[in-house]
Amino acid sequence: MFTGIVTDVGQVRHIEKRGDTHIVIATHYDMDKISIGGSIACAGICLTVVDKGSSRDRWFVVTASGETVSKTTVVGWKTGTEVNLELPLKVGDELGGHIVSGHVDGLAELVGLVPDGESVRMTFDAPKPLSRFIAEKGSVALDGISLTVNEVDGARFGINIIPHTLSVTTFGKLKPGAKVNLEIDTIARYVARLTKG
């Protein structure tokens, strides 16, 4: 479980495809805080750590299944790709964002980007089947970042990115046409399931 508060931006160091996809990610994290078999949210995708480096050579390895690669931005990762990272929530930790599972529902596409004061307004197109789960003033996770939805128009929704978020995540480098991992709000998912006739 995560909160959508990015705590590091890692960089893909190596990718190897042998059955599944094995990805080495360089990080600033203290290696003592990373456990083999534990989870790390990588661009909002909950992935299991299968190997790690030392306190001097900070990196970890995750394995992405074919399903994960086909449904997320992992399909386009290459050496040098920057990735938002978040370590899992521990009991007693502050819930600074919203509850994020790391289970990506689909890809959203950035279709608009305009300055708004010191912030940037970004407009995304969501896959149509997911659009009913996105509500004005509700929460979404995009590439692992907990964000508040400003407005919704069909499958299109807008968010506001403050300067801090632009500087400490990969969103400062996003350009129109970019795809991001979208996780809808967990509560919206269950409400929809319970009210389905």
When the pLDDT of each residue in the chain is averaged and rounded to a whole number, the result is: 94
Q: How confident is the model at residue 197 (pLDDT cuts 50, 70, 90)?
A: low
Tokens 């789960």 found at: 133
CATH topology of domain 106-195: Elongation Factor Tu (Ef-tu); domain 3 (2.40.30)
Reported pTM: 0.94
Segment 38-60, tens digit of pLDDT: 999 999 999 999 999 998 999 99
Segment 170-193, tens digit of pLDDT: 999 999 999 999 999 877 777 776
Q: Are 86 and 101 in contact, with CB atoms under 8 Å apart? A: no
Segment 78-132, tens digit of pLDDT: 999 999 999 998 877 777 778 899 999 999 999 999 999 999 999 999 999 999 9
pLDDT at residue 98, as a whole number: 86
Taking domain 8-86, whether its CATH number is 3.40.50.1110 is answered by no
Nearest Cα to Cα of residue 14 among 44, 41, 46, 51: 51
Task: Confirm whether 8-86 and 106-195 share one CATH topology.
Answer: yes
Tokens 């990805």 found at: 23
Q: Rg of the chain over CA atoms, in angstroms?
A: 17
Q: Is 196 exposed, middle or buried (0-12, 13-18, 19+ CB in 10 A)?
A: exposed
Q: Quick one: average pLDDT of 25-43?
A: 97
Q: Quick one: average pLDDT of 124-142?
A: 95
The domain locations on the chain are: 8-86, 106-195
CA distance 94 to 16: 36
